[in-house]
């Protein structure tokens, strides 16, 4: 019985890390939560952000920023696409500033510099981990619908 009780908390902790949903379970972010960078730029590129599933922050949206401008509010197992000018862009992950509930009271600020070439598409995913919290990372193997 003691061994069982010792293992249960470990199993619960493992369950908090995010996991990649199957492609058929990923939904596009609804238009009302896509707030910027939806119009094509001449000689621009595209950034695609997918959010994993998991218990940590599962009921909350997170904010995706492009060049420190709020671009979308993204939920679990959602994907958003952003049309951006070529050049170096700053892709950010923050607490949703439009959320006035408990979800909007945390601290989260992650950014990554992205070199965008004309006509390119780059993929990223939002993960949540027990030790590191939320992060935004390049996605070398994005789910394909």
For residue 85, what is the domain's CATH number? 2.60.40.1120
Q: Is 6 inside any structural domain?
A: yes
As for how many domains the chain has, the answer is 1
Domain that holds residue 85: 2-138
- What beta strand segments (E) does 1-145 contain? 27-28, 45-51, 62-66, 69-74, 78-84, 87-95, 109-116, 121-129, 133-138
Owner of token pair 């993929």: 123
pLDDT digits over 6-34, tens only?
433 433 444 467 778 888 889 999 999 99
- Kindly report the pTM of this predicted structure: 0.84
Is residue 94, in this structure, part of any structural domain at all?
Answer: yes
With beta carbons less than 8 A apart as the criterion, state whether 122 and 116 touch.
yes
Q: Lowest-confidence range among 3-7, 45-49, 66-70, 125-129?
A: 3-7
**83 φ/ψ angles, rounded to the nearest 5 degrees:** -90, 125
Question: Average pLDDT, stretch 27-43?
Answer: 96
pLDDT band at 66 (very low <50, low <70, confident <90, very high): very high
């Amino acid at each position: 019985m003691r061994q069982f009780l010792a293992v249960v908390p470990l199993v619960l902790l493992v369950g908090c890390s995010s996991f990649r949903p199957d492609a058929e379970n990923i939904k596009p972010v609804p238009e009302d939560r896509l707030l910027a960078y939806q119009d094509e730029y001449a000689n621009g590129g595209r950034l695609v952000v997918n959010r994993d599933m998991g218990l940590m922050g599962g009921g909350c949206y997170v904010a995706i920023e492009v060049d420190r401008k709020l671009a979308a509010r993204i939920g679990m197992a959602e994907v958003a696409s952003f049309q951006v000018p070529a050049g170096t862009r700053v892709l950010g992950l923050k607490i949703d500033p439009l959320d006035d509930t408990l979800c909007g009271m945390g601290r989260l600020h992650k950014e990554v510099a992205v070199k965008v070439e004309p006509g390119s598409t780059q993929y990223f995913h939002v993960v949540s981990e027990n030790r590191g919290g939320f992060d935004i990372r390049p996605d070398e193997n994005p789910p394909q619908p």
